[in-house]
Amino acid sequence: MVNLTINGKAVQAAEGSTILEAARGAGIYIPTLCYDEAVEVYGACGLCVVEAEGIPKLLRSCSAKVSEGMNINTESERVVQSRKVAMELLMSAHDGDCVAPCQLNCPARTDCQGYVGLIANGEYESALKLIKNKIPLPASIGRVCPHPCEKACRRKNVEEPINIAQLKAFAADMDLKAESYVPDVKPATGKKIAIIGGGPAGLTAAYYLAQLGHSVTVYDMMEKMGGMLRYGIPQYRLPKEVLDKEIAIIEKTGVKLLNNKKLGVDFTIKSLKEENDAVIVAVGAWKSSSMRTKGEELEGVYGGIDFLRSVIKGNPFEIGEKVAICGGGNTAMDACRTAVRLGAKEVYVVYRRTRNEMPADELEINEAEEEGVVYKFLTNPLSFNGENGKVSSITLQIMELGEPDASGRRRPVPVEGKTEEIAVDSVILAIGQKLVQEDVQELELNERGNITADPDFFTTSIEGVFAIGDATNRGASIAIEAIGEADRCVKAVDAYLNGIDVETRIPYISKRDESTIDYSDREKKSRLTPKVLAPEVRNKSFDEVSLGFTEEEAKEEANRCLECGCREYYKCKLLNVAQRYDINPERFKGEMPQKYSRDENAFIERNTSKCILCGLCVRSCREVMDIHAIGLMGRGFKTDVSPAFALPLDQTKCNNCGLCVQLCPTGSLTEKFNLPKQVPLDEQYSEEFVEIDGKKSSVLVSRYNGKVLRVIPNDEISRNSGMTREELMWLFEGND
């Protein structure tokens, strides 16, 4: 035996063993990417370097042998720097999206590609569970979310983005129609948390905290839970029966919901803090913003959310026949379409820019127009004019578009001396909403008048009191922002209750350069949208406008997904190693060659743009299987892994044993799974045994929500059995 020291620890290793073997034997981690015990050492990736005392050069531990008295450091500054550079070089030549852009652009980081793919495969229950990992109210959010995910969807570069939001609503509706999924709850922790506000933020925090075993009570000032989803969104867009059902599921996780409880009247933040281990303030923004326009105080001038709330509560404000709505966002659309449904004959939307700059959802803008709403673009209220204290007309300043402002939209500027007057019975100001500051006097507010909350930890000026959502920092935003914040806040609160730190570092992921992606081979297929009620029917009723996707439509739409995110994301060794180092591959951008070739057969998919030329596939095919189906082709920067003469795998001697896929440390080689649409899923792998020709043989079985997705040969017997994946799969599907 050889005696050596690794990271200060005395280690013994067999004569002739490598430093890597010695370290692994002693439980010391050294990253490797081109090494596997099954094949000869190659020494290509440079990740396994270590520093040996007295030796000037760093050693590759996968090939350097141990010697008596060696003193090794596997984590010295020099070693870390060297690995970092090696990793940056590998990553700069690696062209792949670890995570799909749709997911990255969702403020709650919902796995859009995952659930869209599962819907395409008809796996609706799995899709719903995946969504509910991030959104507890998907049927509601699917109906109302302005879907930032779709803005980033790559399918727009072919023709139109995937209808991700409606697919979410479809999966959630399927669940609500059946026996709804209620997640498991961990054993009780004995910790109590009070949440003030039962809107999307408060309910989300409650749902995930309850699942962690905490005792959660939500206090809300209104008669029913739901916050702005209930009191700010009209029935025709989000039927409250849908919201009620989703809230009932949250309640089933053990959350206590208390209504008609008002902060400052029934309790204070401090009184709740005394009775609980933590308090989350999620009170929202319930005050309509003012336009500071002359005549705003006149009777008949209403705030947008006040108006919507009055209708939802069944006591609509008096609006008369001629109504003007000021604003261009979704609240303005909700207000104008509600006014139409209340019987107003002339409904105007006054907006100071043009249709192209309107922040409202395009569908809403179009549907409102179909219902008879008239847009007054490039106009801005100069004054609201009244008779006997009641509004009777608006003087509008005519505008034109000037240079772009900070938001990138062209700034509207007044056309001097040009005005217009329209007669109105009421005006609705839908230009934003604010926190009611009097409610939260106990907390420190920022210069905008919102609660100051730490952006990572959500802590406030009172220890143990956290704050999220519209009431904090930058103020009101869309519901999915509040939901994403609530999910992150749950982690912060749980860590606080357990006295541990929260990880705030954003782990590295690889992203493709959008401009280099070629979509020319994609067949154009229009986006599907659910059928809607006819304008002349819906403008008289508060019935839901959208009829939702049928199963066939949902599957067809979901099948348009381009599958942007990497299928190997959950088990990618390259990514795992990359995330250990603070890398910046951008600095080598353009210096490393990019390789593009794709090939697939029934079981294996090859994508050379993700290949790091570790050679494991080539060596395993040659040394272990003795098949030589693939090789390293070309030289230098032109080197590529491919079958001889760049033939498809199916035209080689490849027997689809899958060993190369198993050893590939990246998503360059992937084993397809047993569903028509391939989706990145957090599969659970287990080694299991089957009998092949009377012999016990090992296979790796991957399952997702109990369904067998892949069965991969895992020893000589199964690899050489000649059995197809279907035959192997059958052994399990028959048993499952």
Q: Is 263 in the site for ligand SF4 (CB under 6 A)?
A: no
Whether 320 contacts 519, CB under 8 Å: no
Give the three-class secondary structure for 73: strand
- The interface partner of residue 669, options being ligand SF4, ligand FES, none and the CB cut-off 5 to 8 Å by kind, is ligand SF4
Q: Is 672 in the site for ligand FES (CB under 6 A)?
A: no
| # of chain residues touching ligand FES (CB under 6 A) | 12
User: Among 41-49, 150-158, 437-445, 622-630, which window interacts with ligand FES (CB under 6 A)?
Assistant: 41-49
Whether 614 contacts 665, CB under 8 Å: yes
- The interface partner of residue 25, options being ligand FES, ligand SF4, none and the CB cut-off 5 to 8 Å by kind, is none
- The interface partner of residue 610, options being ligand SF4, ligand FES, none and the CB cut-off 5 to 8 Å by kind, is ligand SF4
To ligand SF4, the closest distance from the beta carbon of 455 in angstroms equals 26
User: Site for ligand FES (CB under 6 A): which residue of 11, 35, 660, 699?
Assistant: 35
Residues 6 or more apart whose Cβ sits within 8 Å of residue 441: 264
At 379, give phi and psi (nearest 5°): -135, 150
Q: Is 581 in the site for ligand FES (CB under 6 A)?
A: no
Q: Is 568 in the site for ligand SF4 (CB under 6 A)?
A: yes
Question: Tokens 């905008």, residue?
Answer: 448
User: Among 33-41, 201-209, 227-235, 484-492, which window interacts with ligand FES (CB under 6 A)?
Assistant: 33-41
Which of 168, 538 has the CB closer to ligand SF4?
168
Radius of gyration for the alpha carbons in the chain, expressed in angstroms and rounded: 30
- What is the number of H-type helices and E-type strands within the chain? 23, 28
Residues 6 or more apart whose Cβ sits within 8 Å of residue 707: 123, 126, 736
Q: What is the dihedral of CA 244, 263, 309, 480, to 10 degrees?
A: -60
For residue 277, which amino acid is it? D
How far, CA to CA in Å, does 707 sit from each of 394, 400, 711?
63, 59, 11
Which of 66, 162 has the CB closer to ligand SF4?
162
To ligand FES, the closest distance from the beta carbon of 49 in angstroms equals 8
How far, CA to CA in Å, does 510 sit from each of 91, 209, 253, 287?
8, 31, 37, 42
To ligand FES, the closest distance from the beta carbon of 30 in angstroms equals 8
The H or E element containing residue 278 is: strand 278-281
Give the three-class secondary structure for 383: strand
Whether 596 contacts 611, CB under 8 Å: no
At 308, give phi and psi (nearest 5°): -60, -40
Touching ligand SF4, residues 66-125 (CB under 6 A): 94, 96-98, 100-102, 112-113, 116
To ligand FES, the closest distance from the beta carbon of 28 in angstroms equals 15
Alpha helices in 226-344 (DSSP H): 228-231, 240-252, 269-275, 304-312, 330-341
Q: Is 34 in the site for ligand FES (CB under 6 A)?
A: yes
User: Among 39-47, 400-408, 456-464, 723-731, which window interacts with ligand FES (CB under 6 A)?
Assistant: 39-47
User: Site for ligand SF4 (CB under 6 A): which residue of 162, 172, 280, 429?
Assistant: 162
User: Among 31-39, 94-102, 513-521, 653-661, which window interacts with ligand FES (CB under 6 A)?
Assistant: 31-39
To ligand SF4, the closest distance from the beta carbon of 728 in angstroms equals 22
Touching ligand FES, residues 55-114 (CB under 6 A): 60, 62
Question: Which tokens sit at 672?
Answer: 């397809």
Q: Is 298 in the site for ligand FES (CB under 6 A)?
A: no
CA distance 169 to 128: 9
How far, CA to CA in Å, does 99 sit from each of 106, 156, 344?
12, 17, 47
Residue 422's DSSP bridge partners are 394
509 burial level (CB within 10 Å; 0-12, 13-18, 19+)? middle
Q: Is 48 in the site for ligand SF4 (CB under 6 A)?
A: no
Question: Which tokens sit at 548?
Answer: 């939702």
User: Among 29-37, 153-161, 582-590, 677-685, which window interacts with ligand FES (CB under 6 A)?
Assistant: 29-37
- The interface partner of residue 440, options being ligand SF4, ligand FES, none and the CB cut-off 5 to 8 Å by kind, is none
- The interface partner of residue 60, options being ligand SF4, ligand FES, none and the CB cut-off 5 to 8 Å by kind, is ligand FES
Residues 6 or more apart whose Cβ sits within 8 Å of residue 280: 193, 194, 195, 196, 202, 205, 458, 465, 466, 467, 468, 489, 493
Q: What is the Cβ-side half-sphere exposure of residue 81, based on CA atoms within 13 angstroms?
A: 5
**Antiparallel, parallel or unpaired: β 256-258 and 379-387:** unpaired
Q: Tell me the per-residue interface mask from 605 to 624 with ligand SF4, x by CB under 6 A, - otherwise.
A: -----xxxxxxxx-------
Q: Is 304 in the site for ligand SF4 (CB under 6 A)?
A: no
Which of 162, 332 has the CB closer to ligand SF4?
162
Which of 44, 66 has the CB closer to ligand FES?
44
- The interface partner of residue 227, options being ligand FES, ligand SF4, none and the CB cut-off 5 to 8 Å by kind, is none
User: Site for ligand FES (CB under 6 A): which residue of 43, 183, 254, 530?
Assistant: 43
To ligand FES, the closest distance from the beta carbon of 663 in angstroms equals 12
Tell me 88's DSSP state. Answer: H
- The interface partner of residue 46, options being ligand SF4, ligand FES, none and the CB cut-off 5 to 8 Å by kind, is ligand FES
- The interface partner of residue 282, options being ligand FES, ligand SF4, none and the CB cut-off 5 to 8 Å by kind, is none
At 468, give phi and psi (nearest 5°): -145, 165
Nearest to 19 by CA among 30, 33, 34: 30
Touching ligand SF4, residues 429-488 (CB under 6 A): none
Which of 559, 579 has the CB closer to ligand FES?
579
Whether 226 contacts 243, CB under 8 Å: yes
Q: What is the 3-state secondary structure (H, E, C) of 189-200?
A: CCCEEEEECCCH
User: Site for ligand FES (CB under 6 A): which residue of 13, 39, 44, 257?
Assistant: 44
| # of chain residues touching ligand SF4 (CB under 6 A) | 42
- The interface partner of residue 44, options being ligand FES, ligand SF4, none and the CB cut-off 5 to 8 Å by kind, is ligand FES
Q: Tell me the per-residue interface mask from 651 to 690 with ligand SF4, x by CB under 6 A, - otherwise.
A: ------------xx-xxxx---------------------
- The interface partner of residue 169, options being ligand FES, ligand SF4, none and the CB cut-off 5 to 8 Å by kind, is none
User: Site for ligand SF4 (CB under 6 A): which residue of 574, 629, 712, 729?
Assistant: 574
To ligand FES, the closest distance from the beta carbon of 39 in angstroms equals 11
Phi/psi zone of residue 378: left (φ > 0), alpha (ψ -120 to 50 degrees), beta? left
Tell me 244's DSSP state. Answer: H
- Please give the residue ranges that form the binding site for ligand SF4 (CB under 6 A): 94, 96-98, 100-102, 112-113, 116, 153-155, 162, 164, 510, 561-566, 568-569, 572, 574-575, 610-617, 641, 663-664, 666-669
- Please give the residue ranges that form the binding site for ligand FES (CB under 6 A): 32-35, 43-48, 60, 62
